[in-house]
Amino acid sequence: MGYPDELVVQAKVTIQRIDPPIWRQLLVPLALNLAGLHEVIQAAFGWTDSHLHQFIIGGLIYGAPEFDEDGQSSHTTFEATDVLLRDFDLYHVRNPEFLYEYDFGDGWMHLIEFETTRPVDPDIKYPICIAGARHGPPEDVGGVTGYADFLEAWSDPEHEEHHARRTWVGRRFSPEKFDLDATNKAIRSALRKARGGYRFRLAP
């Protein structure tokens, strides 16, 4: 779309159907591809990349086509590594947004709202999280309904599953806690590992 390389996009990513909302506000280069954005979202919410994922954009699916080797999927999945954010018209379209789904069993749907573009700050290392709210749900908790049940047991010492739930997630888990520094540390670590495995690239 002819975006200048010195721009980054500000995006708000919110897990759907959870109240109060769990969200992260990110600054990502327009030269980042969708595979890289996947890595950033995983790290920002504390997901472990243990399940399949896909982006749903304009009715098309982007992800990892190799996971449909038997050809049983009802749709075509385009390779996320080949598609950059700057390939989409995020500047002229009003209120552009994508969907990102993680773990097709639990069905965690994330709404990605592209809020604005801004010049690159040479003192900032991108991608970066600049704000957020609440801890991400544990893996394999059973989706939105399962997470509600989990929180009920986790917060009630009289609940029969209270001890088991607390033991399962560990003492560091706190559903209302958001740690910006820890989130950015996780993002940097995830991107270093991804680059080492050639899972995505930042275009020149």
Do 64 and 159 fall into the same domain?
no
Q: What confidence score (pLDDT) does residue 194 get?
A: 77
The total number of structural domains in the chain stands at 2
pLDDT at 15 exceeding the cut of 90: yes
Do 59 and 159 fall into the same domain?
no
Do 166 and 116 fall into the same domain?
no
Q: What confidence score (pLDDT) does residue 1 get?
A: 44
Q: What confidence score (pLDDT) does residue 7 get?
A: 86
Q: How far, rounded to the nearest angstrom, does the alpha carbon of residue 137 sit from its chain's CA centroid?
A: 12
Q: Give 113-142 pLDDT, tens digit per residue.
A: 999 999 999 999 999 999 999 999 999 999
> Residues 126, 119: contact at Cβ < 8 Å?
no
Integer Cα distance of 84 and 106 in angstroms? 27
Extract the tokens encoding 71. Answer: 């050809």
Extract the tokens encoding 106. Answer: 């639990």
Do 141 and 181 fall into the same domain?
no
Q: What confidence score (pLDDT) does residue 42 get?
A: 98
Of all helices (H) and strands (E), which one includes residue 113?
Answer: strand 108-119
Do 188 and 130 fall into the same domain?
yes
Mean pLDDT of the chain: 90
Do 118 and 147 fall into the same domain?
no
Integer Cα distance of 10 and 136 in angstroms? 20
The type of residue at 46 is: G
Q: Is 1 inside a domain boundary?
A: no
Q: What confidence score (pLDDT) does residue 73 get?
A: 59
Do 156 and 129 fall into the same domain?
no
| More reliable by pLDDT, 121 or 204 | 121
Do 101 and 165 fall into the same domain?
no
Query: Which SS3 state, helix, strand or coil, does residue 45 take?
Result: helix
Q: Give 79-113 pLDDT, tens digit per residue.
A: 999 999 999 988 777 789 999 999 999 999 999 99
- Please choose, from the candidates 62, 49, 123, the residue with its C-alpha nearest in 3D space to the C-alpha of residue 88: 62
- Please choose, from the candidates 49, 60, 35, 44, the residue with its C-alpha nearest in 3D space to the C-alpha of residue 11: 44
Q: Is 189 inside a domain boundary?
A: yes
pLDDT at 204 exceeding the cut of 50: no
Stretch 151-162: mean pLDDT: 96
Query: Which SS3 state, helix, strand or coil, does residue 162 take?
Result: helix
CATH code for the domain of 73 = 3.10.290.30
Q: Is 11 inside a domain boundary?
A: yes
- Please choose, from the candidates 70, 53, 73, 51, the residue with its C-alpha nearest in 3D space to the C-alpha of residue 62: 53
Extract the tokens encoding 150. Answer: 């989990």
Q: Is 204 inside a domain boundary?
A: no
Q: What is the largest CA-CA distance in the chain?
A: 59
Of all helices (H) and strands (E), which one includes residue 106?
Answer: none
Structural domain span for residue 144:
137-174
Q: Is 20 inside a domain boundary?
A: yes
Q: Is 203 inside a domain boundary?
A: no
Q: Give 47-85 pLDDT, tens digit per residue.
A: 999 999 999 999 999 998 776 555 555 678 999 999 999
